[in-house]
Amino acid sequence: MSNYPIPEKLIYQGVESFGTPLWLYDRGTIEERIRELQVFDAVRYAQKANSNLSILSLMKKMGVVVDAVSAGEIYRALKAGYRGGATKKTPEIVYTADIFDADALALVKEHQIAVNIGSPDMIPQLAEAGIKTELTLRVNPGFGHGHSRKTNTGGDLSKHGVWFEQIKDCMKLAQANGMWISGLHMHIGSGADFEHLSKVTEAMREAARHLGSHIRMISTGGGFPIPYRESEEGNRIDINAYYKLWDDTRKQIAQSVGHSVSLEVEPGRYLVAESGLLVSKIRAIKTMGENKFYIVDAGFTDLVRPAFYGSYHKISILPQGSSVLGEDSDVIVAGPLCESGDVFTQEEGGYVVSRKLPEAKVNDLLVLHDTGAYGAAMSSNYNSRRLAAEVLYSKGELHLIRKRQTFEQMTENDRIVGL
């Protein structure tokens, strides 16, 4: 894990040009992660991790196809240059969700978007909308695992996917409505470890028996962890070993049905997380009892993961001007929001903890690392805070890929009515 994926001088340049808080992404890191996974027949990016149009455009340039979980994500994919076409061997866009809303159903119909069914009720709803197409099925294998209980997407307490015992029912439902199921997808959770991810292969083989000769594709899902802590760097997931495990599974299924079966992988976090930095500025340093706080101008409106999951992000300090960093001490890092939970150094359950950080001064930069996934994508306007700018570092230069939101943009859809 390098200290910064972007040269320090350009981090300072980005702050000078675009202010703070600021998202910075390194193109080279994203491309490196994509290349690691291109051993699979198709790499399908879970764009919910980071759906900036420039990021999507880069994915397309690298031959990556996309997953969309909402009408808005279908729209973004189309705007980035992806095209519909559910009958393609490898659809450029697949809609994966547990429901259709009106907007999603309309876009699926208009652009012939491939659908990965997450609930049996979606099948007759497609037919009612006049859509008859080849389908894939997201299967809940009956177990799940993730870095947090909130990211576990399998088992009987998860809302996601079709319960594994209902595969045959879905096949009959599809046939009754003039459709057929030709692919299977399993995703047990985000940030799962190799041991748990590996268990899915047996569940996939069992599920594939129901489809028989109809099966054309299997998807391993995503959920690959990244080493957020420096101590985890040596435990990075072995992509080649993971691929071999699934390739063996695919070959066993193909042998049983007598024809080839394609193998997809669906990463989100793994492709973009390590590319990203959230750069903030220390605006206050204060002591509360025996605790020292650095209060920065980024909050959970920018990066919600620590408040939501108790997630860990490496933190570093970049001094401004003539400022010199002092010795490390225990520090709590918090944001400016009117919420006690607006703390970047906390564990799951809301337990506030301190971090060893250098003695800093007001206006020094505080950087949160590995924030390219589920950072800007989960930002909000809570406390009427503007969405931060996003910048891509590419070929030695910084490129603004989303302007900082203005106050006018934040309020333009509000209406004052006479009461």
Give me the active site residues, please: 338
User: Cα separation of 65 and 83, whole Å?
Assistant: 10
What are the CA-CA distances from residue 200 to residues 42, 192, 219, 298 (Å)? 18, 11, 11, 38
Which amino acid is it at 333? V
Beta strands 276-288 and 365-369, pairing class = antiparallel
β-bridge partners, 327: none
Q: Assess contact for 364 and 319: CB atoms under 8 A.
A: yes
User: Cα separation of 297 and 409, whole Å?
Assistant: 20
DSSP string, 362-384: TT-EEEEES-SSSSGGG---GGG
Buried/exposed 377-386: b ≥16 CB within 10 Å, e otherwise: bbbeeeeebe
Whether the link from the prior residue into 120 is cis, omega within 30° of 0, is no
Beta strands 42-46 and 22-26, pairing class = unpaired
Burial class (CB in 10 A: 0-12, 13-18, 19+), 125: middle
User: Cα separation of 390 and 238, whole Å?
Assistant: 31
Which amino acid is it at 173? L
User: Cα separation of 160 and 28, whole Å?
Assistant: 33
Tell me the three state secondary structure of residue 91. Answer: coil
| Structure-block tokens of residue 115 | 């659908």
User: Cα separation of 64 and 204, whole Å?
Assistant: 23
Q: Assess contact for 137 and 208: CB atoms under 8 A.
A: no
How long, in residues, is the chain? 419
Q: Assess contact for 400 and 389: CB atoms under 8 A.
A: yes
∠ CA 228-63-220, rounded to 5°:
55
User: Cα separation of 57 and 49, whole Å?
Assistant: 15
